A = this chain, B = another copy of it.
Amino acid sequence: MAGNLNEAPDLERAPERLGDAAYRQMKERIIRGVYRPGHKLTVRAVAQDLDVSTTPARDAINRLTSEGALVYTGPKTVVVPVLDATDLREITLTRLALEGLASEQAAQHGTPANVEELKSLQRLINSALQEKRYAEALWHNKEFHFTIYRLSGLPQLVSMIESLWLRIGPSLHNLYPEFAEEKYGVRNHEIAMESLEERDAASLRAAMENDIRDGYRRLKRANLERGAGTSA
């Protein structure tokens, strides 16, 4: 009796339900910036977008809402959240705790192959930044982070972190083109890769935390400018 008691023997690949597929696609659209902060979502519109009936569309919206990736602004109005300074601070504090933990744990499990994978992702980030394909850079940046987090061997933790990225994801698309000027995150990523190579947990954690804090500062600045610009 060694396996997880909750896993059935043949739960290898359950056929994906329409609701799950809708959820997955919505998630990707949110991260990729297809839906921007403030965008309003309706059950019927999503159903049409994804070419399913209202039930799976509603499932997906409900799930995203209960995760905090979408928010109610009225009894019948769901939108992609517009983060204010308070939200941003809360999410960042939580990210530091969770992603810090994941990084720390990851340090114990890194292999040379993982480091290679990260280097390859970093090259993709770099060239995307250089060629001003910002959305793509963000996408690879996400992959870079999660490649590390998955090394923690703590899948539930990883999915909690994912739900946090879903909350800030849309706002990140408001950062470019400015954010590329300083080569977003490059230095921190380099240190992270070195730390992983050396299995230095504290250093890896510090590098990832720095990266999160960097992003936070940029978002906060952009938020202030934006807030000042649109309030008139």
| Most chain B CB atoms below 10 A, which of A5, A38, A71, A227 | A5
Interface string of A145-186 (1 = CB under 8 A from B): 000000000111100100000000000000000000000000
The listed residue (B1, B4, B7, B156) touching A68 by CB distance below 8 A is B156
The reply to whether A75 and B15 form a contact with Cβ atoms under 8 Å apart is yes
Instruction: Give A74's nearest chain B residue, CB to CB.
Output: B8
Number of interface residues of A (CB under 8 A): 45
| Most chain B CB atoms below 10 A, which of A19, A66, A86 | A66
The reply to whether A101 and B105 form a contact with Cβ atoms under 8 Å apart is no
- In the bound assembly, the distance between CA atoms of A156 and B88 in angstroms comes to 11
- In the bound assembly, the distance between CA atoms of A74 and B1 in angstroms comes to 18
The reply to whether A90 and B6 form a contact with Cβ atoms under 8 Å apart is no
The reply to whether A101 and B90 form a contact with Cβ atoms under 8 Å apart is no
**A206 at the A/B interface (Cβ < 8 Å)?**
no
Interface string of A1-31 (1 = CB under 8 A from B): 1001111100100110001000000000000
The reply to whether B93 and A157 form a contact with Cβ atoms under 8 Å apart is yes
- In the bound assembly, the distance between CA atoms of A165 and B4 in angstroms comes to 20
The reply to whether B7 and A93 form a contact with Cβ atoms under 8 Å apart is no
- In the bound assembly, the distance between CA atoms of A204 and B14 in angstroms comes to 45
- In the bound assembly, the distance between CA atoms of A84 and B1 in angstroms comes to 11
Instruction: Give A100's nearest chain B residue, CB to CB.
Output: B97
Instruction: Give A231's nearest chain B residue, CB to CB.
Output: B1
Find chain B residues with CB under 8 A from A154 CB: 90, 93-94
Q: Given known contacts A6-B71, A8-B73, A90-B154, what 10 new A-B pairs fall within 8 Å (CB)? A: A6-B79, A6-B81, A6-B82, A11-B72, A14-B75, A59-B62, A94-B98, A94-B101, A97-B100, A97-B101
**Chain A positions near chain B (C-beta within 8 angstroms):** 1, 4-8, 11, 14-15, 19, 38, 59, 62-63, 66-68, 71-75, 77, 79, 81-82, 84, 86-87, 90-91, 93-94, 97-98, 100-101, 105, 154-157, 160, 227, 231
Ordered by A's residue number, 15 sampled pairs between the chains whose C-beta atoms are within 8 Å are: A1-B231, A4-B84, A6-B72, A6-B82, A8-B73, A8-B74, A11-B73, A19-B62, A62-B63, A63-B66, A66-B66, A66-B67, A93-B154, A97-B100, A98-B98
